[in-house]
Structure 1
Amino acid sequence: MSATRTEPGSRTAAARLLSAFETIAGGQLPVRVRCWDGSVAGSADAEVTVAFRNRRALRRILWSPNELGLGRSYVAGDMEIDGDIFALLDGPEVIERVARRDLRTLDRAGIRRVVSSFLRLGAVGPPPAPPAEEIGRRRGSKHSKARDAAVVSHHYDVGNDFYRLFLGPSMVYSCAYWTDRDSGTLEQAQWAKLELICRKLELAPGMRLLDVGCGWGSMAIHAAREHGVSVVGVTISRQQCELATARVAEAGLSDRVQIRLQDYRDVDDGPYDAISSIGMSEHVGDSRLDEYANRLTSLLRPGGRLLNHAIASVAPLVTEKHPKPTFVDRYIFPDGELLPLSHVAGALERAGLEVRDSEALREHYARTLRQWVENLRRDWDEAVRLVGAARARTWLLYLAASALSFERGRITIHQVLAVRAGATGVSGMPLTRREWLVD
């Protein structure tokens, strides 16, 4: 650390606060801290400064001494990040060392030091109300149709124009596929991803495709335009449905693409020749995964293919009786669950499908997220105008942290291709992946 660092023994608010956080973290943090009284502490050459605008920020952290408290402070504007957010998140795992620990991890002396610091800073008081952007009490059983519709609306129905800012013209809200390590635009990479899925499904004119969780219609439009198939896309987001329908009409594909505001569990007009599920099964939940797999299998003709494209955990799923609240669950993906690849493959096999291919795209998603962050920061003022500063902050924090999670291998993403076997057992699969290569 820099020699100009303020000594922890200093009595300024910033010095006391930095000392408390470093006690929790178990070592020095490569950041500067600025407090409401103008005091500053930390390394003079730090790339990022965390500014606490008021004592309310500390009360939020005191009442939720983990990532949720930090997230609430940032979203509410009680805490600001001056500098590159990646410099904060990608330091020696700064957030990992502070947000994922709490006072219970400290010895008694450490607890006394931290509590004493917060008392001296005037942080003790009633818990502040969470920012309005945090989802409130969820009604109904988890992953019921009504509750799924409500939480999906919380995530997706924040304004199509806002999503367009960082997703770009493709309006594809899932991992892109970069065919060149050093070049290529986001639009090219998203086109390549959609084309890769179409090739894995071996789409051809005259086939019927069901696109589950169709988003803003990009996959449906690509499959119909590039491969001549008829497509039904279903989503439970009203705003997505409205824009997807308009985009289909604008592309002149209304005779071949139908977008429905419909839960996948209510689709009953099979059989389909192929089914794509792109970034949707994260909303299904482990308890409903067999139901999901069985339902899609029932809609697939013998010999038909299913491609499930989903973010996954990288370790066996551990279910806690009383899980800690997380920023992602309260602000981004309520009720979302990232399941191990083994759970997804097992459910597909139990449903009677033959899993034929699985491709991990972890590095591709890290690059995609970095591009989304760049787009959001570039049009930050417009994002704030569209959805307000608090919601824009939630997305910047979420996208940046997600990029680092993929880069560090904490989470991953898989495209799993499965086939419903016919009476003859012939799958029609190519001998190699060569036929799927996208230039």
Structure 2
Amino acid sequence: MAFDAIGAGYAEAFPAKSGQLDAGRWLLEELEPGARVLDVGCGTGDPTVRQLTEGGLRVTAVDLADGMLRLARSTVPEAEYHRIDMYDLATPRAVDAWGVPELGPEAAGRYAAATAFFSLILLPQAEIPEVLGRIRTLLRPGGLLALGMVEADLDHAPLPFLGHEIRISGYLREELELTLDRAGFTVECHDGHPYAPACTTLPPEEQLFLRCRRTG
């Protein structure tokens, strides 16, 4: 897997995290101390797992890349980590294949909030609404979602990335908000951030940060 090899190189290519940190501050302001938060695609644990844990929230962080999880566990050992495919969240496979009952069907409504910063972009567009729906299942009624995406009309398009090829999906802003609405989320706020990666081989991008609430 590419992200096992990329490891700390990801943080070096994307050092500025202002939009992500702003979304984390929103969660800290909205949630009660000790509330459970699920970080989908935690990467190295910086900055989100660290920020939310230090802010007094109980963070369960998931990723599929062993290399990223090793870094995250050393960066923020206070959080709870699981290796699982985000596509299997809230399904029987979370228990049967991954051995994580706290992320399976019986965990519906367990979490006060979820974060997914630039993890859903690794899925084909057809799968993103399904994963959003599974995240929604794990949230309590009115639960919060802080989401980071790239604004681009892309569907699983190949992209050279830190010496590897990965596939990236994105949406134009209005289409992303419609996708979230159909998945059962109300978008309360969105911010756009032009971003030029520190690695000059990567093109500039428009990052979108959305603050959402589960409807129903």
Q: Which TM-score applies when normalising by structure 2?
A: 0.79
How many equivalent residue pairs? 196
- C-alpha displacement at 1:297, in angstroms? 0.9
- Write out per-residue CA displacement over residues 337-394 of structure 1, whole angstroms, 9 at most, x where no aligned residue: 22222332122111221111111111xx22xx2xx24xxxxxxxxxxxxxxxxxxxxx
Distance 1:333 1:200 in 2: 34
CA contact (8 A) 2:159 2:167 kept: no
Give CA-to-partner distance per residue, 1:393-435, whole Å, 9 cap, x none: xxx522xxx13xx4xxxxx21111111135xxxxxxxxxxxxx
Work out the CA distance in 2 between the residues paired with 1:260 and 1:248: 14
Deviation at 1:335, TM superposition (A): 2.5
Residue aligning to 1:414: 208
Q: CA deviation at 1:282?
A: 0.8
Q: Distance in 2 between matches of 1:333 and 1:223?
A: 31
Identity %: 22
- 2:8 paired with 1:157: no
Residues 1:196 and 2:22 are matched in the alignment: yes
Alignment of 1:213 with 2:41, yes or no, is yes
2:174 is paired with a residue whose SS is: helix
Contact 2:20 2:117 in 1 (8 A): no
* Aligned mate of 2:52, from 223, 230, 234: 223
For 2:8 and 2:207, the matched residues in 1 are separated by 27
User: What is the alpha-carbon distance in structure 2 between the residues aligned to residue 284 and residue 312 of structure 1?
Assistant: 15
Q: 1:298 to 1:163 in 2, by over 3 A?
A: closer
Structure with the bigger percentage of helix = 1
Cα distance change, pair 163–420 in 1 and its aligned pair in 2 (3 A) = closer
Q: Which of 113, 116, 127 matches 1:274?
A: 113
Partner of 1:237: 65
Could you tell me how far apart the structure 2 residues matched to 1:197 and 1:174 are?
16
**Deviation of 1:175 (Å):** 5.2
Q: Which runs of 5 or more residues in structure 2 are unaligned?
A: 90-102
2:81 maps to 259
Q: TM-score, normalised by structure 1?
A: 0.41
Q: Using CA pairs under 8 Å that are at least 6 residues apart, name the structure with larger relative contact order, 1 or 2.
A: 2
Residue 333 of structure 1 and its aligned partner are, at CA, apart by: 4.6
1:292 aligns with 2:125: no
The letter for the 1-side match of 2:85 is: D
Where does structure 1 differ by over 4 angstroms across 4 or more consecutive aligned residues? 161-164
Deviation, structure 1 residue 296: 1.1
Deviation at 1:162, TM superposition (A): 4.3
| Cα separation, 1, equivalents of 2:134 and 2:201 | 35
- Aligned residue among 357, 360, 366 for 2:189: 357
- 5+ long unaligned stretches in structure 1: 1-152, 168-172, 178-192, 374-395, 407-411, 423-439
